Every structure is written in C-alpha cells, then in structure tokens.
Chain A
Amino acid sequence: MKQLVILSGKGGTGKTSIAAAFAHLLSLDGVPLRAVFADADVDASNLELVLAPRIIIREAFRGGLYAEINWEICTGCGLCKEVCRFDAINARSMPKFHQQMSHHYPESGMSGVQIQNLPLVDPIACDGCAACYYQCPEGAITMQDQIVGEWCRSESRYGPLFHAVLHPAQENSGKLVTLVKQQARLLAMDENYDLVLVDGPPGIGCPVIAASSGADLALIVAEPTTAGVHDMYRVLETANHFNIQTLVCINKADIYPASAAEIEAFCRERGIQVVGKIPFDLAVTEAMVQGQPVTLYAPSSPSSQALREIWSKVGAILQTEGM
C-alpha cells in the first residue's frame, strides 16, 4: 500500500483539481489501482466539492485546550498573567473584553479597579500550554476542551474519502490532519487498497508536515510564476528534509514560459523528475462549477490530456517494486 501526497508551497496552484483528476483516472479500466482519498487541507477542504461524496460517518473533533479561570476562587494575584507567554490573559485588544467585564461588574459588586485586575483568558490566543493551570496557587484554573471541528468518512464517486473541517480561528497544529490521514491509512490497510492519495495543504508548516508524514511519494504542483517558483523551492526543501521522494508537475505552464524553463532546469540539476506540464485551461474551472474532475467533464481538453499523461507516469512509479 502506497501513500502519495500532493503539495505545492504556494496556494492555488491546482493541487485539489489534480487530486480529483487522479481520483477519476485511477478508477478507469486499465489502471489497476484502488485508492482511499484524504483531504488534508482542513482549513479549506475543497476535494469534496468535486468528488460528489456521501457522508457516512461524521465525528466531532475535540481539541484546542484553553484555560478558564474561576473568579470565585481567584485572588487576583496575577501569577497567571506573568507566566503566560501568548498574551492570552487580559489582552486588551481582545474583542468583547469590555463587554464581558461590564457584564460581570453589576453582579459582583466589585469596584471598577478590582474588575480590571481580574484575569480574563482569550480562548483564541490561549495556546493550551497549561502553564497557568499548573502555577495557579489557588487552583482557580481549569483546562477546557471544546469541539473545534469535525471529520467525516464519505463514499465518493471513486472510493472512500476522509475529510474534515476545522472551525474558523482554531489552531491548526496538524492534529486534525493527522487524524484524517490516519483514518484513511487504517481503512486502506483493513480493506487492501493500493493507495492513499492525500490532497495536501499550502505552505510548509505543521499542516504540511502532518500531511506528508509517512508518504512514499510527494507530487509538487508548481506554478511557473516568480512567486510560485520561490515557494516550490521551499516545499521541495521541506520534502527533502523529511526524506520523501518527490516528483514535480507544472500547472498553468504557459503563463510564463521562462519560469517553467527555470523549474525544469532546476529539477534536471537535482535529478527530480518533471512528470508533465498542464496548460492554463478554463475547462478546469468549468468542471469545478459542475462539481466534477476536469478529466470527467472535458476529457478532450488540453488539461485533461496532460493529466492523463501525468497520471500514467505517477501511477507507474507508485507501482514500482521497492518504491
């Protein structure tokens, strides 16, 4: 069983559109691969929009511990504020801070000065480190968890899809990504699938690291623009740092041919295979509007042709012995 992750560095290079095309292509006759899909971009999970999934399991995701201070017990010693390194206690820029304060004021009968000294935790800024919890001499602090998202197992047109939504403003440390990916892997092992295909997030930080962990192969979708090339170098370095074999494909390849040539030259120097170039093609967006992969919606379009060639190479590499 192999694991392929699709990455980019820069956002919007076409990862999800390509992942959807691959999902469609591997379901066709002549391609002997069965796959489980994982959408690891939990901030912006778009793969479901083009794979027509039917949700069969939906689970809440708890996480994002934050500190809560019990004002009945709190003596206002201020130690929690001193130890907090995340500006999460009494940060004045916190919205609704004054609202909460003035709400408490008439009930408690405390003076204005006393109210100002009471510590108030901003749950969004709170890192969940629990330093304040352990340091509070009165035991006035508890760590609360909350539902910060949900994950789903769906049946899509081409196989099982695991995806998730992280609620806005929540911490994306990669835990939800790990969970989605791990669920996909376990199902794939249980039911003898050949492949876990992970649609990765943009960037190079923990969501990307979590999405790539354990991958046999990373396909980097490069955009031939000055910005895109810049970010491609960084994500390539990241994949290298974690010892993951990489392939590159160039999307919207005709926007800036000099840049595409730069990418090809760079890859040649490093011995990285460029598996194909996809021209800019409005059919991709038209397919998206119809909720379909472009290879299904417009099979004779230039992008579909390029994608078929790319997939046949990627599929062959995945099935190589010792890969």
Chain B
Amino acid sequence: MLIAIASGKGGTGKTAVATALACALARTGLSVACLDCDVEAPNAHIFIQPDLVHRKPVEMLIPHVDANLCTGCGECAKVCQFHAVVVLGGKTLVFPELCHGCGSCTLVCPEGAIKEVPRVMGILEGGLSPDGINFGRGVLNVGEPMAVPVIAQLKKWRDLMDAEMVILDSPPGASCPVVESIRGANFVLMVTEPTPFGLHDLRQAYDLTRELDITAGVIINRDGIGNSDVEGYCREVGLPVLLRIPLEREIGEGLAQGKTLLEIHPEYEVTFRNLYTQIAEKIAQSAVIDGVQ
C-alpha cells in the first residue's frame, strides 16, 4: 500500500506526520518503507535517523555535440522545446540546465554529431532506520532546476516500493514535483493548518487529488489557531478529517529539535496506528464505489 503525505502549503507538518506514521507502522511488524520525495529540501532523515549506506548519483542524459561532425544545420535547435540547444556563430551550444533529457535532438541530427552523456544532477541515498524502516531520499543538487527526474528515479530505486507499506513524504505545492511524488498512491493524506493560507492551498492540493483520482483525507495540524473555515471546507467537499493535532508549544519545540511526534507524545503511537486503520477503511470504501461504477 502506498500512502502519500501532501499539503499544498509548506510547513504544515507533512514530514512530522509522515515520519510518525512510518515509525508507528514499523513497530507493528509491517515492512515499511519511507521515501522523502521533497528532493529540494529533504528533512525526513532528521526524524527517521537512517543509516545512509546506499548511494546512487541521479543522472540525466544530455546532448554533447561533436564540433567536427556538426554542420550547423540547426535541426537540433529546431526540435528543442526548451531552448537548451542553440546555434550561434556557426557553433551548436548546449545549455545543460535547460535540458530535459528527452533525446529528441540526438534523434534528429542528420550528421550523427550528437551523442548523449550522463550529467549528475542529484543523489539518491538510502538505508535502514533503528525502527527497521527502509528509508530512501533524493537530494537535488544546488543550482539544478528540475526536481522531477530525481523523484522519478527515487521511486524506482532498489526495493523501496516493494514494502508492505510505503509512506511517501512529498514536497509542498500542487505542481509537477508533487504529482511525481504522489502518482500511484492508494491514498493522499493532506496535512493542513486551520488558517486562510492553509485553506487556500488545501483547495489546490485537493483539486490535485481529484485530477489524479486518488482518495484523500485531511489532518489538521496546529488545531486551535486561525478559524474554522478549513473544517467547513472539508465538510462541504466531503473530505474526511482523520486527525487533529493541537497547537502546543511542546510539540513545536520537540519537532524543532528533530524529535518525532511519537517521541514527543508516546501515546501518538496508538493514534497513528488508528489513523492507518481509518485510511485502510477509506481505501476499501472507495474501491467498492469504483467497482460499482
């Protein structure tokens, strides 16, 4: 089973929830994998404390033009949708940061002057945590624009996705990195805060789950601040609120220090086991509905 943790707004507590859920489930004896798909700003390792013994560079194939064979015909520049290949002063230039690695220019070169070479844009790291969680994360190199290829490769790496339970900690927002992270999930758990910013961005995140046709539920974090508009919205669109975590100085300070929710409040181990039970029920319910249609 794949459960993705998303949010829309940043800083709502996705990683806190993802890591608590992963740890709680690992302690029940399930084989659990946790993937930190927030490759621009990965933080899950702080809480899970894995022994990152496995490493693999993330490479993208980019074109390399042999100047001796190149005639400057410009066919490569013509097909490139991203302005990554340009002919100037009779020379064909490649701008690696703009390249999407699609291979189109290489295919069209009439002189066979282009060959593809790997370029490292990030790294995958993985290992086991003290709780026995199979952990994996991707880290995008500073200066690199594209998170998606790193996330895509992380999800195919080693046997992470083979675990009985896979928890995916996704980045904030609702655009391509989030799509890449949550695609294929059985359930998306959206962590929000009961404030106008939280609500605004929750709508985006929820629309995303509709777009991808994935069952969703909400966790309200820092319950007690803001107003009740988020609760109202969830009721209105039929989004189940599966858990409320109160605004508490102790929780804020504990998370600040890198403690998991289970370390801060040990009773949360039961809470998160119950959360999982609710999620499993919701998944089963929506499978029934789909079957009927």
Contacts and interface: CB of A to CB of B under 8 A. Distances in A.
A10 B43 contact: yes
A111 interface: no
B208 interface: yes
B81 A65 contact: yes
B110 interface: no
B46 A130 contact: no
Contacts, number: 198
Contacts of B256: 224-226, 228, 255-256, 259
Contact of B212 (A46, A169, A170, A291): A169
Contact of A201 (B100, B101, B173): B173
Contact of B108 (A11, A12, A134, A227): A134
B227 interface: yes
Interface string A82-98: 01011000000101100
A289 interface: yes
B142 A204 contact: yes
B41 A204 contact: yes
B175 A11 contact: no
Contact of A44 (B79, B142, B204, B258): B204
B257 A171 contact: no
Contacts of B46: 226-227, 230
Given A44-B200, A135-B107, A205-B146, A129 B102 contact: yes
Dominant secondary structure of chain A at its interface with chain B: loop
A52 to B, nearest CB: 12
Interface string B80-108: 01100000000000000000111110011
B30 to A, nearest CB: 23
B253 A205 contact: no
Contacts of B253: 255-256
Interface in B98-144: 100-104, 107-108, 140, 142-144
Contacts of B252: 255, 280
A16 B9 CA distance: 11
A237 B145 contact: no
B171 interface: yes
- Among B15, B175, B200, chain A packs the most CB atoms within 10 A around the CB of B175
A130 B145 contact: no
A289 B226 contact: yes
Contact of B208 (A49, A169, A282): A169
B: contact size bracket: 35 or more
Interface string A147-187: 00000000000000000001111111110000000000000
B269 interface: no
B184 interface: yes
A9 B204 contact: no
A209 interface: yes
Interface of A: 9-13, 16, 42-46, 49, 65, 83, 85-86, 93, 95-96, 124-125, 127-131, 134-135, 166-174, 201-206, 208-209, 223-228, 230-231, 234-235, 237-238, 241-242, 255-256, 259, 280, 282, 285, 288-289, 291
Interface of B: 8-12, 15, 40-41, 43, 46, 79, 81-82, 100-104, 107-108, 140, 142-147, 171-177, 179, 183-184, 195-197, 200-201, 204-205, 207-208, 210-214, 225-227, 252-253, 255-258
Which 10 A-B residue pairs are closest in the complex by CB-CB distance? A12-B11, A11-B10, A129-B102, A172-B175, A43-B173, A206-B145, A203-B40, A95-B213, A225-B256, A256-B256
